[in-house]
Amino acid sequence: MATVLHLHELSKKYGSLQAVDRLTLQVEAGSIYGLLGPNGSGKTTTLGMVLDVIRPSGGSFLWFGRSISKETKQRVGALLETPNFYPYLTAKANLQVVADTKQADHRHINKMLDMVGLGTRSHTTYKGFSLGMKQRLALAAAMLNDPEVLVLDEPTNGLDPQGIAEVRDLITRIAAQGKTILLASHLLDEVEKVCTHVAVLQAGKLKANGPVGDILSTKDQLVISAEELAPVLQLLERLPYIVQFVQDKNYISLTLSEGYTSTDLNRDMFAQGIVLSQLLVRRKSLEAQFLELTQK
């Protein structure tokens, strides 16, 4: 698979604050790559650097294997922080200005306005738009010259539930067209619902990255109970793939190491003549996982 974006030891320092610290990662074509981290973790700074508006203090990045240029920029549609438009211009006039900049075909403008559901509001000035409409206009602008890659920074930030649903629906529809999406978010469930890959950032450092399934949900928690807990506890001590276990009144919760499932545990218990009365796989809450990841 082709690499769309390659970051190598990318860093940004603001005075004594290390906003982004030697970040290395790759975004493959066709993936929906989530940049996950709390506020102030360096997500926007990272996107700002690869979008050429913030100068890196160190490291490098390549778009499609090349350094950034007018040509690579035309293959990327981006929305950084807030939707940025002229408040006194209409939705359509704003997109005309964007089309001039991107040297995009002006005939696409109406199509894009329809796609984001603003077709009937194309002659309303931007300042009269709700936040959700502004965000959708920004998506229309980003999509204007049919880019291969879409970079979205907190696209649902500040929206009401309906707005969030609309924007997420748009993102999934765009992704279904086979585009690569790089999405920054502090919302775990957003990343989990929308993304295929994720990089977890904290204080500018990369904490973990890989496919969403690997990062956000491998170490499921098991809850077991049996008539007699004592032999179970004894066995758990000896089983090599138990990461940790805690007894809680009349049940035990435990974590397995990677590659093992509840089946393995059940088989070993049964082989030792222990019959479990309960075996429950409980997915760890995303918040708990996130805190675990960032507190490492």
Nearer to another protein (CB atom), residue 103 or residue 263: 103
Q: Which residue in the block uniquely carries the two structure tokens 């997109």?
A: 95
Nearer to another protein (CB atom), residue 153 or residue 166: 153
- The encoded tokens of residue 73 equal 């920029």
Q: Nearest-CA neighbor of 254 among 212, 215, 223?
A: 223
Neighbours of 23 (CB within 10 A): 25
Applying CB under 8 A, which residues contact another protein? 48, 51-55, 70, 73-74, 78, 80-82, 84-89, 93, 96-98, 100-103
Nearer to another protein (CB atom), residue 52 or residue 268: 52
Nearer to another protein (CB atom), residue 38 or residue 87: 87
Question: In the bound complex, what is the minimum distance in angstroms from residue 162's beta carbon to another protein?
Answer: 26
Nearer to another protein (CB atom), residue 75 or residue 111: 75
Nearer to another protein (CB atom), residue 22 or residue 73: 73
Question: In the bound complex, what is the minimum distance in angstroms from residue 153's beta carbon to another protein?
Answer: 11
- DSSP letters, 39-98, are TTSSHHHHHHHHTTSS--SEEEEEETTB---HHHHTTEEEE-SS----TTSBHHHHHHHH
Question: In the bound complex, what is the minimum distance in angstroms from residue 97's beta carbon to another protein?
Answer: 5
Compute the C-alpha angle 71/73/76, nearest 5°. Answer: 125
Q: Which residue in the block uniquely carries the two structure tokens 């409409």?
A: 133
SS3 29: coil
Nearer to another protein (CB atom), residue 10 or residue 252: 10
Question: In the bound complex, what is the minimum distance in angstroms from residue 46's beta carbon to another protein?
Answer: 13
Contacts of 18 (CB under 8 A, 6+ apart): 11, 12, 203, 204
Compute the C-alpha angle 118/30/7, nearest 5°. Answer: 105
Neighbours of 131 (CB within 10 A): 14
Nearer to another protein (CB atom), residue 70 or residue 238: 70
Question: In the bound complex, what is the minimum distance in angstroms from residue 112's beta carbon to another protein?
Answer: 14
- The encoded tokens of residue 265 equal 């545990």
Question: In the bound complex, what is the minimum distance in angstroms from residue 39's beta carbon to another protein?
Answer: 19
Question: In the bound complex, what is the minimum distance in angstroms from residue 96's beta carbon to another protein?
Answer: 6
* CA-CA-CA-CA dihedral for 181, 187, 193, 196, to nearest 10: 40
Question: In the bound complex, what is the minimum distance in angstroms from residue 74's beta carbon to another protein?
Answer: 5
Contacts of 143 (CB under 8 A, 6+ apart): 77, 112, 115, 150, 174
